[in-house]
Amino acid sequence: MKQAAQKMCLLLSFFLLVSSASLAQVEFETSLPYDYFGAIKSSKNFLFTMTPLKKTYDQSELIILSFEGEELSRLQFQNRNRPTITKFGMMGESTVFMMSTGEFVLLDADGKETSRHTLTFEEKIKGSKTLISDKGITVIQEVKIPKVGSALRVTQFSTMFEEQWKYEEIAEKGKYDIEQVVLSNNGQLAILYKKGMNADLGLCLLNSIGQEKAFVDVPRKTGQFSSYYFEYKSNGDLLLVSDYGSTSTEMFKGIPLAMSVITLDGVSGAVKSDVLVDFLELQQKLGDKTTDDKPVYSQIAPALHMLEVVQVEGESYLICESYLSRDRKQNVPSTTPGNPGTDTYYTQMELLDYYLINLDNPLEKQKRIWKQPRTIELELGSFGSANSARPKMQQNGLFSYQGMYNGKIVSRGYGQMHNYFTLIDLNKGKEELDKRTFWGTPIGTDYNVLPQRKSYNVGFGSTFMEDYFAREGMLSLDGYFTLYQYDVSANTLNLAKIKF
């Protein structure tokens, strides 16, 4: 009996030793006092946080930090409605913050404020997008001109915030609903817009001095499109990625049926290629099979969300993450007798595998990268859907894909009640779970709940940056990665630079 107990003890010790050796854990290097968590992001020059100022109702504070967590400067803002960051970007070596107050605040590479500017417009603005670049500030607007109608207007301001040129196109009828805008490195501007009340798309191309190159319709093979990625390619053409169609089943409602990949000529706006990647066909080609060799997904397949264009062995690939979406209803019992309680609706996004889709040959050159699934749960209400969840997830870095490092995918995961990250070798085609590195404190304590999930309340911090609410995550910039986690009990923001 004693010998059996000793064997059991040795076995348990060995198990604990192996477990502790395999569960690599990142230790946070910096801990900063932080009363109310608002947002943390990074520019080319530094990290920054935006938070409400303690004991005020109308003030916010922008705190600038080095990548090691050292405080560089603090800026305070005050307005009737507590100020927020609307947008930020690089203008040469300066980081520019566009504030909800209408101000543009410029900081140098050391995090010191150099200037503030305000832009004003006279006409009624019906829709607007702003681009920050080395060329200055580009403002694209749909304006209402009295006794004339709607017009598409573009105003270019220099790096000194002086107006350089203005372009205007008045709609013959209807309106211009600005869908996507993108600026190339040499100042070429592309504006994708919806025409009137229908789903037809138009494209406006301007050169760097505001001269019109093209104003054309964008013909498509089929309808039911929702665009979400619009960028210039290295050769000057334009890449447009859109969702196509939508499921109507109750189980996976609201996810698209296919991904549209369109290449547009950067000079004329003509369609050079128009390909539809059908998700069901993709699964039948690359997906799992049951024991009788039938596809797991026979009617509805996981959808793809395109995240980035990456270079693999000299070729361009769209890196996508597959997902399914479900709704979960949770009833909170009422303390009032006879009251049925309150129903809260959660949109669950189950993130599955990575897919590499060749940009030049999207229907033939396809590759699947297997990884551990994880479920993100967002409190979006009964009208929530995958379409509204995905932009919020991308803004908060909640997709598994975090970037590339030395040709490998930096992937974020969730297991054993902890966040973790791994490097995925594309040639191996799968995530190696024995090489996970865990970080942060345990997320939740309910090990029995299935699926294991991380829930996010959209209200967390959403007043300081658009759609921002994640209290832990990974920041990536130019091959450098920083982990962060806000400790609610200690009111501290913890940071660690990742060393691969």
* Angstrom distance (rounded) from CA 440 to CA 483: 9
Question: Token pair for residue 461?
Answer: 């911090």
pLDDT score for 312: 95
Residue 81, Cβ neighbours under 10 Å: how many?
A: 10
pLDDT score for 191: 98
The CA-based angle 257-258-259, given to 5 degrees, is: 145
pLDDT score for 320: 98
pLDDT score for 408: 96
Going from N- to C-terminal start, the domains of the chain cover 280-500
pTM: predicted TM-score of the whole model, two decimal places:
0.88
What sign for the dihedral angle of Cα 423, 429, 435, 439?
A: positive
Give 448-457 pLDDT, tens digit per residue. Answer: 665 666 777 6
Q: Which residues of the chain have pLDDT under 50?
A: 1-2, 5-22, 460-462
* Angstrom distance (rounded) from CA 288 to CA 301: 11
Q: Are 256 and 302 in contact (CB under 8 A)?
A: no
pLDDT score for 15: 38
pLDDT score for 295: 64
Bridge partner list, 412: 421
Locate all alpha helices (DSSP H) within 152-200, ordered by sequence.
none
Give 137-185 pLDDT, tens digit per residue. Answer: 999 999 988 877 889 999 999 999 999 999 999 887 767 889 999 999 9
Q: How are beta strands 30-33 and 492-497 bridged, if at all?
A: antiparallel
* Angstrom distance (rounded) from CA 63 to CA 84: 13
The single residue listed with the structure tokens 């998700």 is 279
pLDDT score for 250: 60
* Angstrom distance (rounded) from CA 154 to CA 181: 11
pLDDT score for 432: 95
